[in-house]
Amino acid sequence: MCGIVGYIGTKQAAPLIVQGLKRLEYRGYDSAGVCLLADGGIRIEKKAGRVMDLERAVDMDQLHGTVGVGHTRWATHGVPNDANAHPHTDQSGTIALVHNGIIENYLTIKKKLLNAGYTFRSDTDSEVLAVFIGMLYETLQDLEQAVRTALAEVEGTFGIVVISTHDPDMIIAARRGSPLILGIGNGEYLVASDAAAVIAHTRQVVYLNENEMAILRRDGFQTKTIANIDTHSVVEEIAFELEQIEKGGFEHFMLKEIYEQPITFRDGFRGRLQTEEGTVKLGGLATVREKLQSAKRIIITACGTSWHAALVGEYLIEALARVPVEVEYASEFRYRNPIISSDDVVIAISQSGETADTLAAIREAKLKGATVIGMVNVVGSTIARETDAGVYLHAGPEIGVASTKAFTSQLCVLTQFALYMGRMRGLSAEEGKRIAQELERIPEYISMILERADDVKAIAHAYAHASNFLYLGRGYNFPAALEGALKLKEISYIHAEGYPAAEMKHGPIALIDENMPVVFIAPHDEIYDKIVSNIEEVRARNGRVIAIADDEDTYIENVANHVLRVPRTLPILTPILASIPLQLLAYYIAVERGCNVDMPRNLAKSVTVE
Ligand code: M6R
């Protein structure tokens, strides 16, 4: 949610900030703004719409100054318009702030400020914070002190960057609940919501910790807690390359990321799978190995697509390791006072590693004594740092708002985790080897499916005008059906539901008529006959059936209107392969409907507010 870029150095800041904002636009894209300090004054340009709308409206080369901040917004308080766009200033117009997060007690603070005669130009909680800092500055005459005092009173989450004409050679950044990183250059510093905005300038970064702030000047930086205790910062290297966050000739990031999956999937098991021994080496779990061996229960918590991966994980871990698994929406888990003991292992799955609800869920689990493991994609993210141990997904940066390659990498890691635990708890080496061998073939299978993208495109063309879709699957492919439906609704705005196929007759069957496309995931497993019966039930009511079936299935054409083929694999690996045509189907339908695939309406990539 919301992208922040700040710069202090010797270069003109405006073009550099705008370039950074474009790389962060996947975090929020309903309005954008920049603020520059120059010649003792402050200049702000902001606009509803995308960063390119701001660029069209303002000649960035005319914005001078070597200190500045920029912001791309995902609205929480107040509609996306020019006034609500960031940066916001205090009453005097000398202090500017950009903010990511939510100030929960903003109404209380606003009331105090209104009573004291202050006025507001926007409906945002962020402006309240800017005005509050300004009010405190009037008495304290020290910007750092004013920011610190304001933040001590604030409830909620924030990543903020503040600049002011009172001290034009300084940037103040602070975080609680919203990520911020510092880019360490040569005589220049950047501050941003994530590494994508920084990598073109430096690979050296410092991840700000919770309740930490940074004071940046051209000749150095200082970190301390918001309570003013000096902290020790560790400079780390960004773990990805610039090309990985560019489109590389693809029309959309989403398509690029779908096509990256043969590689990203392999990266997820490279150096981990020990095929001959039928086991897996997960270095990041070495410190919790004994806990895993004795765990009485595993709870997996996540949101959105990661939650769908967690559901597949439940089936996998219970099947291979015979440990009871519960899957919880992080947003529910965190508030329902869950019963957790020190015998439990809690796994948090997250692409971004910053999802507010997932983060809160692991904090709750840790508080209650559970061992907490992260399965996270973004290296150095908050969840990765706050868990006791973890396994990185190694999917590389995922920019498209609709998660694709991260999902298959989550399944890759979960399969290995289930194998790892299974081998500790009685799974035979022979069975382990069979699974490992097949897992190694998956990248090649994904490539084969991608070569058949035109088949999916043709179906997308035929059904792009549908108003509703149903996705049905059983066993391992019930979560894959949920994920297929989520992908379609996110980017095409078609209403889509996922169900376990047998649940259809308990309600959704009422929806079926000749206008209802129904996507069935029908691998040739032990319940194949059951799913064929479900297909027949849909056909008997004139529903249109699109089946995902394997290459060796010679019967499916008798019952389905359309068939999308995938290579035959082990049942436990079928959701991985089924996901690829489902991702392509959502993508091509969204393109047919003229939707903005990479930046679907109302969504943001990283949900750092609850
Ligand atoms: O970064 P996370 O995996 O924690 O994000 C969770 C969800 O917000 C995310 O999966 C969301 O549902 C995506 N838009 C799905 O495509």
Q: Residue ranges of the domains in the chain? A: 3-238, 246-448, 452-598
243: left (phi > 0), else alpha (psi -120 to 50), else beta?
alpha
For the entire predicted model, the pTM comes to: 0.88
Query: What mean pLDDT, rounded, does the chain reach?
Result: 95
Mutation choice for ligand 1 from 194, 252, 303, CB with most ligand atoms inside 8 A: 303
State both tokens at 249: 């000739």
452-598 folds as Rossmann fold (3.40.50)
State both tokens at 319: 């099947």
Beta bridge partners of 562: 546
Show the ligand 1 pocket: residues with CB < 6 angstroms.
Answer: 303-306, 350-352, 355, 358, 401-403, 490, 603, 606-607
Rounded Cα gap, residues 498 and 501, in angstroms? 9
Average pLDDT over residues 590-606: 91
H-helix segments, 116-183: 125-140, 143-153
Mutation choice for ligand 1 from 306, 333, 609, CB with most ligand atoms inside 8 A: 306
Kindly state the helix (H) or strand (E) to which residue 563 belongs, with its residue range. Answer: strand 562-566
**Which ligand 1 atom is nearest residue 603's CA?**
14
Beta bridge partners of 100: 159
Backbone angles phi, psi at 593, to 5 degrees: -85, 5
Tell me how far the alpha carbon of residue 257 lies from the centroid of ligand 1, in angstroms: 15
Check for a shared fold between 246-448 and 452-598. yes
Specify the pLDDT at position 132. 98
Positive or negative, the CA dihedral 503, 508, 509, 515 is: negative
pLDDT digits (tens, 9 = 90+) for 102-115: 999 999 999 999 99
Considering the chain, what percentage of its residues have pLDDT values greater than 70? 100
Q: Is the pLDDT of residue 610 over 80?
A: no
Tell me how far the alpha carbon of residue 27 lies from the centroid of ligand 1, in angstroms: 12
Rounded Cα gap, residues 174 and 344, in angstroms? 34
Cβ contact 209:202 at 8 Å: no
H-helix segments, 184-260: 253-259
Cβ contact 23:196 at 8 Å: yes
Q: How many Cα atoms occupy the beta-carbon half-sphere of 138 within 13 Å?
A: 11
**Which ligand 1 atom is nearest residue 383's CA?**
4
Tell me how far the alpha carbon of residue 355 lies from the centroid of ligand 1, in angstroms: 8
Cβ contacts of 18 within 8 Å, gap of 6 or more: 34, 51, 54, 55, 60, 70
Tell me how far the alpha carbon of residue 486 lies from the centroid of ligand 1, in angstroms: 10
Mutation choice for ligand 1 from 403, 602, 606, CB with most ligand atoms inside 8 A: 403
Give the catalytic positions in this structure.
2, 605
Cross-sheet strand order for the sheet of 204-207: 41-48, 31-38, 67-73, 3-8, 189-192, 181-184, 204-207, 236-237
Specify the pLDDT at position 245. 87
Cα–Cα–Cα angle for 198, 47, 136, rounded to 5 degrees: 75
Q: Is the pLDDT of residue 239 over 90?
A: no
**Which ligand 1 atom is nearest residue 302's CA?**
4
State both tokens at 189: 């510093």
Q: Is the pLDDT of residue 405 over 80?
A: yes
**Which ligand 1 atom is nearest residue 358's CA?**
4
Specify the pLDDT at position 393. 97
| pLDDT confidence tier of residue 455, bands split at 50, 70 and 90 | very high
Tell me how far the alpha carbon of residue 555 lies from the centroid of ligand 1, in angstroms: 36
| pLDDT confidence tier of residue 540, bands split at 50, 70 and 90 | very high
Specify the pLDDT at position 60. 84
Cβ contacts of 461 within 8 Å, gap of 6 or more: 588, 592
Mutation choice for ligand 1 from 327, 355, 357, CB with most ligand atoms inside 8 A: 355
Specify the pLDDT at position 602. 85
Query: Whose CA is closest to atom 12 on ligand 1?
Result: 304
Rg (CA), the chain: 25
**Which ligand 1 atom is nearest residue 402's CA?**
16
**Residue 463 to residues 222, 270, 483: CA-CA distances in angstroms?**
57, 38, 19
Cβ contacts of 191 within 8 Å, gap of 6 or more: 4, 5, 6, 161, 171, 173, 180, 181, 182, 183, 214, 216
Q: Is the pLDDT of residue 409 over 90?
A: yes
Specify the pLDDT at position 243. 87
Cβ contact 173:191 at 8 Å: yes
Cβ contacts of 375 within 8 Å, gap of 6 or more: 347, 348, 349, 350, 390, 391, 393, 410, 413, 414, 417
Share of the chain residues as helix, strand and coil, in percent rounded to the nearest 5 = 40, 25, 35
Specify the pLDDT at position 582. 98
Beta bridge partners of 222: 215
3-238 folds as Glutamine Phosphoribosylpyrophosphate, subunit 1, domain 1 (3.60.20)
Helix (H, G, I), strand (E, B) or coil at 37: strand
Rounded Cα gap, residues 448 and 526, in angstroms? 24
Tell me how far the alpha carbon of residue 138 lies from the centroid of ligand 1, in angstroms: 42
Tell me how far the alpha carbon of residue 13 lies from the centroid of ligand 1, in angstroms: 32
Query: Whose CA is closest to atom 7 on ligand 1?
Result: 304
Mutation choice for ligand 1 from 413, 487, 607, 610, CB with most ligand atoms inside 8 A: 607
Cβ contact 3:99 at 8 Å: no
Question: What is 274-292 written as a DSSP string?
Answer: ETTTTEE--GGGGGGHHHH
Backbone angles phi, psi at 103, to 5 degrees: -90, 105
Rounded Cα gap, residues 148 and 569, in angstroms? 57
Tell me how far the alpha carbon of residue 560 lies from the centroid of ligand 1, in angstroms: 32
Q: Is the pLDDT of residue 230 over 90?
A: yes
The one-character DSSP state at 246 is S
Q: Is the pLDDT of residue 202 over 80?
A: yes
Cβ contact 537:509 at 8 Å: yes
Residue owning tokens 């479900």 = 534
Cβ contact 97:86 at 8 Å: yes
Tell me how far the alpha carbon of residue 290 lies from the centroid of ligand 1, in angstroms: 31
**Which ligand 1 atom is nearest residue 352's CA?**
1
Rounded Cα gap, residues 534 and 549, in angstroms? 14
Rounded Cα gap, residues 412 and 398, in angstroms? 16
Query: Whose CA is closest to atom 9 on ligand 1?
Result: 304
| pLDDT confidence tier of residue 121, bands split at 50, 70 and 90 | very high
Backbone angles phi, psi at 226, to 5 degrees: -65, -25
Cβ contact 32:195 at 8 Å: no
Considering the chain, what percentage of its residues have pLDDT values greater than 90? 89
Backbone angles phi, psi at 95, to 5 degrees: -120, 125
Rounded Cα gap, residues 356 and 606, in angstroms? 9
246-448 folds as Rossmann fold (3.40.50)
Specify the pLDDT at position 491. 96
Cβ contact 405:260 at 8 Å: yes
Q: Is the pLDDT of residue 558 over 90?
A: yes
**Which ligand 1 atom is nearest residue 378's CA?**
1
Average pLDDT over residues 475-496: 97
Cβ contacts of 217 within 8 Å, gap of 6 or more: 8, 169, 170, 189
**Which ligand 1 atom is nearest residue 355's CA?**
4
Tell me how far the alpha carbon of residue 53 lies from the centroid of ligand 1, in angstroms: 27
Positive or negative, the CA dihedral 191, 193, 197, 198 is: positive
